[in-house]
Chains A and B, each alone.
Chain A
Amino acid sequence: MTKKSEQEKGGISRRAFIGSSAAAGAATILPKGPAAAAQAAPSGGTPVSLPPTPQQMAREVGDARPPTTFRAAQRPGSDLIVQVLRDLEIEFVASNPGSSFEGLQESIINYGEIPNVMPEFISALHEESAVDMAHGYAKSEGKPICALIQGTIGLQHASMAIYQAYHGLAPMVILVGRDDKHFLQAHTADDVAGVVRSFTKWDAHPQTLEEALVAIQEAYRQAITPPCAPTVVILDTEVQKEEAGDLEIPPYRPPVIPTITAAQADEIASGLLAAKNPHIAVGRMRTPAGPKKAVELAELTGASVTTSATRMPMSFPQTHPLTGKGADSAHDYVLGLETSGAQASLNGPHLRTLDGRDLTGINFGGIRPPVRPSQNVPGENDLVADAEASLPLLVDAVKRRMNESKRETVSQRTVQHGKANRDARVVALRKALEKKREGWDASPISLARIYAELAPMIKDLDWCLPSPTIFSGRHHEELWDHDKPYSHFGGHPAAALGFGIGASTGAALAARDRNRIVINIQTDGDLNYTPGSLWTAAHHKLPMLTVMHNNRAWHMELMYVQYMTGVRGRGHDRAHIGTTLRDPFIDYAKMAEGYGMKSEGPIKDPNKLAAALARGIESVKNGEPYLIDVITQPR
């Protein structure tokens, strides 16, 4: 829409307002509503004097009391939006500012008794970072925060991260500002959410404030209902700025998540209790409540447990005495919780494709593809029910069937399993350590050494490792104890790079007020997509230790190109072109310093590593993020 047609319609453009208010001084009030519009300059741009306000009128007739403090907006719609977020206990809104949501932004930072808390406005330097932060937070806490995104262009920046979150089953509510009246047409689309619709679960474009409040609640509900995923609400700037009057916030109804039936719970409970050697396989549940209940079930039944805690969040504690094959690995009843099991397994609902559709196809547009295309296709004995929501039923069913003799059996089995699992763990660890010591004194530094040196330092701390570790050897799997729902997040869900730093920053947001620290083992290629999160961590004082896995390359691609030169029989010494980060090398300690983060390095001497890591941990414990550049072996 051009400036001219705005004026023809009687609107006041943003720029005209800024200009006229500068001319008229601070007292100028933006006229509102049809009456005010009728007063606006018809075409020539000459300001027309405004009618007296009620206050001025009162003074005119002799009421000389000083005017009450005047607020143009009495109860802005965006205050109610913030109240909805607060009621939903959304801790953070990660955002890069945009002029389609200054109304909402102003409410976040100013509304309420304690403004800018629940939610707190978190400054992201890139929309992709904002969404990665929401992803990292969701993986550690199992619940959403918001990303607040500038319409159209910001959403395009955000889109790859949203795609990754969709694959990662990460619940988040993405609020997108939209302004089609007073702003650039290029930032506005009729269907703003269209650009991400193929990889979001639900979206809405409410037309009124009341609809907007309901839409945000629904977006939240949809995001946390399995399969969890990102949802989108488009918020028109008018809706944010509208006077709310006496509009009340509609009540929020939590989702009803499908569980097994009481009869099924009874059947599984009797299976577990009748078995001589029951076993439970645990995958990824939704929230920290899932693993907690799984521990209760395992302890009640004395079942040995397989965990996925080294590969994904929200699984069973890795060093729980029941974790492992147990005293006897011939299990006669196996229960799967979000994983396939032999006798029964509870796998939450999944978005499905239409029949006959190619599961490997991406097919953007039209129908949303499944959240996880090729995994967790229910098997014969699978109950399509959410394991976490079903666990309380199962625990109760087991408790009801418990008697003295069963309790005795369980307690004996628990002791036997505990001893066997502990012994097996030590044997496996001894074997692993023999491998880890290889190249111990090498320079550049071995990746195993980074994880090994860190292990005793974080042993008694509450830590979270959000970064994908597939490129750095996954040495934490054997060396660190993954006992928390948020210990490790697994890989990049869509194998999309630029994820580690943002996800770690989001996890560090969750960690900040929970006395937890985040360890980010950061590959160099990955950092360079969105390094701005370093500033976010410094600015918000996030407890994040970043240890560079600096192999000065997109090393995976180097290996592929090297192989290809072999296939083609030429230029074997040229594979570094376009695959390495040399000439010049990037100085990550300086990069961090530039963003205001404490740092050191590059470290090449393996004997200097431990002291640097210790300094880093100390700093992070004091709420100061820290980066250590380590020149490493490639893999």
Chain B
Amino acid sequence: MTIMTKFFNRITMLVAGSVFIMGTVGAQVAFGPVTGDAKKGMQLYYDYGCYGCHGYNGIGRQNLANDVSGIMFNETVFLTYLRAREDQNPLFPTQSMPNYAAASLSDNDAKNIYAYIRTFRDEPPEVEDIPALKAILDAAENN
């Protein structure tokens, strides 16, 4: 990421406003209602490439599962965030969060995506209960 895009991302955060602060409290805050259709959202999450950086199940370069994102606080914040990066015009390719313009991803579709993301749960077993991970740990501890 270039210094310029980092700078712009900061501005985006400020546009998203109070959300930035909520991001730090995350799961403890009561999240807003879901009005979209998660089923439709599933296809849209794929078609609009969200899976590309957030994983098919919300675990990826940037995790979304388990309500970890303050941006997911409510639909309004989420929509604001999606639209908030339109003036970014990087000279170099970037894998940062793209802007999603309303002209190409409608509010309705975005709300469906929102509904789908809210269903993401990742509850992997504990390290001790995963044989491969436990074996790795044991080997290091007995070294």
Residues of A with Cβ closer than 8 Å to B?
A: 319, 422, 425-426, 429-430, 433-434, 436-444, 446, 449, 452-453, 455-456, 459, 479, 555-556, 558-560, 562-567, 569-573, 575-576, 610, 633-635
Contact of B60 with A by CB under 8 A: yes
Q: Chain B's interface: helix, strand, loop or mixed, by majority?
A: loop
Known A422-B143, A426-B141, A563-B94; judge A452-B133 contact (CB<8 A): yes
How many chain-B residues does the 8 Å CB contact rule pick out?
45
Name the CB-closest residue of B to A418. Answer: B143
Q: A555-B52, A566-B99, A573-B104 are in contact. Are A633 and B59 (CB under 8 A)?
A: yes
- Point out the residue from B60, B100, B133, B140 that lies within 8 Å of A572, measured CB to CB: B100
In the complex the two chains form, what is the Cα distance from A441 to B47 in whole Å? 23
Check A576 against B49 for contact (C-beta < 8 Å). Answer: yes
Q: Does B55 contact A (CB under 8 A)?
A: yes
Given contacts A426-B140, A634-B60, contact A569 B135 (CB under 8 A): no
Within 8 A of A (CB), among B60-108: 60-61, 63, 85-86, 88-90, 93-96, 98-101, 103-105
From A319, A430, A459, A569, give the contact of B101 (CB < 8 A).
Answer: A569
* Chain A residues near B33 (CB-CB < 8 A): none
Please report the C-alpha to C-alpha distance between residue A584 and residue B50 in the assembled complex, in whole angstroms. 22
- A444 contact set on B, CB distance < 8 A: 56
Q: Is the CB of A442 within 8 A of B53?
A: no
Given A438-B59, A452-B136, A558-B49, residue A319 in contact with residue B143 (CB < 8 A): yes
Number of A-B residue pairs with CB-CB distance less than 8 Å in the complex they form: 140
Closest to A479 in B: B136
Closest 7 pairs between A and B when the two form their complex, measured CB to CB: A566-B98, A439-B59, A566-B99, A440-B124, A569-B101, A456-B135, A560-B93
The answer, yes or no, to whether B29 is at the interface (CB within 8 Å) is no
Q: Which residues of B contact A (CB under 8 A)?
A: 47-49, 51-53, 55-57, 59-61, 63, 85-86, 88-90, 93-96, 98-101, 103-105, 122, 124-127, 130-133, 135-137, 139-141, 143
Q: Is the CB of A566 within 8 A of B122?
A: no
Q: List 16 A-B contacts (CB under 8 A).
A: A425-B140, A437-B127, A444-B56, A459-B139, A562-B52, A565-B104, A566-B85, A566-B99, A566-B101, A567-B88, A567-B89, A570-B103, A572-B49, A634-B55, A634-B60, A635-B53
Closest to A440 in B: B124
Most buried by A among B47, B63, B104: B104
Which of A438, A459, A556, A558 sits near B63, CB closer than 8 Å? A438
Interface pair B59/A442, CB less than 8 Å apart: yes
Chain A nearest CB, measured from B132 CB (Å): 5
Q: How near does chain B come to A136, taking the closest CB pair, in angstroms? A: 27
Would you call A573 and B48 a contact (CB within 8 A)?
yes
Closest to B54 in A: A634
Rounded to whole angstroms, the CA-CA distance of A495 and B85 in the bound complex is 29
Pick the most buried of B59, B127, B133: most chain A CB atoms within 10 A of its CB: B133
A634 & B59 in contact (Cβ 8 Å cutoff): no
- Nearest B residue to A430 by beta-carbon distance? B137
A582 to chain B, nearest CB (A): 11
Q: Are B56 and A633 in contact (CB under 8 A)?
A: yes
A436 to B136, CA, bound (A): 12
Whether the pair B93, A563 counts as a contact (CB closer than 8 A) is: yes
Residues of B within 8 A of A456 (CB): 131-132, 135-136, 139
User: CB-nearest residue of chain A relative to B100?
Assistant: A572
Question: Which residue on A lies nearest to B135, using beta carbons?
Answer: A456
A residues in contact with B98, CB < 8 Å: 562-567, 572
Smallest beta-carbon distance A275→chain B, Å? 27
Q: Which residue of B lies closest to A427 (CB)?
A: B140
Q: Is B124's CB under 8 angstroms from A559's CB? A: no
